[in-house]
Structure 1
């Protein structure tokens, strides 16, 4: 299994935890990890990669992404995502890995809870990418309008690339065409780039267990299931329960609230998975971070995050979706 991560100096702990979780649950697979290190000091790289020392079936290779990213940055002036542009490797993924047939991208805030063999061996047919539904834009206050009413807006935290299909369908050129047209206008950056570049017919849809959004409350997810329509398929309550009974990949989405498990204030019941694997990394003795309360706004979001999994949160989400006309004006984007 070829595994791809991207990190900078501020995200090494999270990437180490994610890698450790994959290694622990996939001892029967030969795993080749490609680690794109964006300005990560050598000592920190060694610390991060040490999580592989206990596994004979794992090989980690650190790569410098700048030779691929710098031409893109000069040509398109892409918008960074929280200080990083490493995810734009999608726009040159065939050039970066010309000898591979497929590769699995995982965000650093994704934790593995079980075997990935079934995912790795997914029959993707003629599609370029296998990905799961993104629930975040349905809850966010700012949504990339070109995508909100598309039949399937996918999340970029877990992406299985069939590189042969990517080459045949010119994924790299499709991505660059999007960057040329939108540049810094995309609210969700590389994720929106991929969604614009790939029509639904070139995306294989994964079910929730392969990219479960830990930053979305159970009540909110149930509301999303109620908004399932023929025009915009989400998931049923049965599919939601099935996914929760067999979670394989947990994605700790979120940013404006302390919705990350390395913050002490994080309230999700799924935090135990992150803590479990963190205990087997070089960061195990370090305390969890504290969400800053520098002013009343930050104090407010800290307290608001404690409404985790409440009926009020679910009702708020349902109202937001209704006000945005979810399902009634879905249209397929014209393929370019």
Structure 2
């Protein structure tokens, strides 16, 4: 593994608060949305110092430069951790014959990579926007809790609790995960999660999220859904609604569905929220996705256009979908 490691005194914001560490695991495709996520956190938390960690197996020079540019724009620290296969050596006996790619395990090496720098790390998916202060989460007294998590949607929880035969009626969405590093490592959570993923008998539909839920069932602290407010754009677009629904007291809006807020072709107002924060990042000026890129998006776009009473455009996109699928 290579990456910047700060051995000096902890950085502090203007109000004297120690740096809060946030980690992302991305590839080149998710650097732009990650930029908007980071900018949204900075914008809604003035005075708080952050250290943003980016764990990746490979990144373009352009994205490396843009990540580093946050330090010129804002009083924050960024650290890029380029992971090599050797980083996963502790899990080698799990990975030897795995059909999974290394990227799926990146989140599980966060405690090992960052354990010498901080006692806690907030992991975030890169399809999240912060719309309020996270001071309450930063101030949480974790004690011996291994992790702080947020419940998934009720219907998902019911289905996964049943499918995984979980003893406790709880299931979290792992897109927001506050790791208490020493208890996490003392309980060997990463290795146990990989063991469950590799050798478990259950249907791991959501891969490491399911495995984490099995290992942490009954052992994680649950907090309000406002810390991982799941917003599915398909829900709106299927009924021809393009305005954002009220999100109440949400802090993190998680666009976890198949349609993302950086899809200009969706026509949804979530694009405006995403663009607002993207323009505060080193990715400012980059266009949103002008058209569907794959067969799944093409088919959805065709359906959404039909809902908007645009049958000819809907048919045109459905034919594109059929041609692209036939070409595979």
TM interval, shorter chain, is: 0.7 to 0.9
Deviations 1:91-113 (A, max 9, x none): 33332222221110011111111
Are 1:7 and 2:10 an aligned pair?
A: no
SS at match of 2:140: coil
Matched-pair contact (CA < 8 Å) for 1:20–1:52 = no
Partner of 2:175: 157
Number of the residue aligned with 1:111: 129
* 1:254-282 Cα shifts (integer Å, max 9, x gaps): 22xxx201111335544432121012234
What SS does the corresponding residue of 2:78 show, helix, strand or coil? strand
Indicate the SS of the match to 2:142.
Answer: coil
Partner of 2:58: 39
Cα displacement string for residues 87-133 of structure 1 (whole angstroms, at most 9, x for unaligned residues)? 52343333222222111001111111121111122233432111111
- Residue correspondence of structure 1 range 11-22 to structure 2 within 5 A: 11-22=30-41
1:264 aligns with 2:283: no
Per the TM alignment, residue 30 of structure 1 is displaced from its structure 2 partner at its CA by: 1.9
Deviation at 1:284, TM superposition (A): 3.2
The 8 Å contact of residues 7 and 37 in structure 1, kept in 2 or not, is answered as yes
Using the TM superposition, name which of 279-288 and 133-142 deviates more: 133-142
SS at match of 2:247: helix
| Distance in 2 (alpha carbons) for counterparts of 1:43 and 1:184 | 41
- Which moved further from structure 2: 43-52 or 204-213? 43-52
Greater gyration radius: 2
Alignment partner, residue 113 of structure 2: 96
Q: Could you say what secondary structure the match of 1:122 adopts?
A: coil
Distance 1:287 1:113, change over 3 A: same
Query: Could you tell me how far apart the structure 1 residues matched to 2:187 and 2:157 are?
Result: 32
Change (3 A) 1:125 1:191: same
Superposed, 1:110-129 pairs within 5 Å as: 110-129=128-147
Q: Does 1:302 align with 2:301?
A: yes
Match of 1:48 in 2: 67
Compute the displacement of 1:10 (Å): 1.4
Counterparts in 2 of 1:306 and 1:124: CA distance versus 1, 3 Å:
farther
Give the paired residue count: 277
Alignment of 1:73-88 (within 5 A): 75-76=94-95, 77-78=97-98, 80=100, 85-88=102-105
Unaligned runs of 5+ in 2: 1-19, 237-244, 308-328
Q: How big is the shift at 1:19?
A: 1.0
Q: How far did residue 136 of structure 1 move? A: 8.7
Go from structure 1 to structure 2 and tell me whether the alpha carbon gap of 1:29 and 1:289 turns closer, same or farther (over 3 Å shift): same
Where do 5+ consecutive residues of structure 1 fail to align?
A: 220-240, 309-336
Q: Does the 8 Å CA contact 1:51/1:280 hold for their aligned counterparts?
A: no
How big is the alpha-carbon RMSD for the aligned residues of Structure 1 and Structure 2?
A: 3.4
CA offsets per residue over residues 189-224 of structure 1, 9 Å max, x none? 121121111122x111121111111216779xxxxx
Preserved CA contact (<8 Å) 2:157 2:170: no
User: Could you tell me how far apart the structure 2 residues matched to 1:195 and 1:263 are?
Assistant: 31
1:287 aligns with 2:304: no
Task: Compute the TM-score of the two structures, normalised by the length of structure 1.
Answer: 0.71
Distance between the aligned counterparts of 1:20 and 1:79, measured in 2? 35
Deviates more, 1:36-45 or 1:285-294: 285-294
- For 1:46 and 1:294, the matched residues in 2 are separated by 28
Aligned residue for 2:250, secondary structure, equals coil
Residue of structure 2 in register with 1:247 after alignment: 250
Match of 2:152 in 1: 134
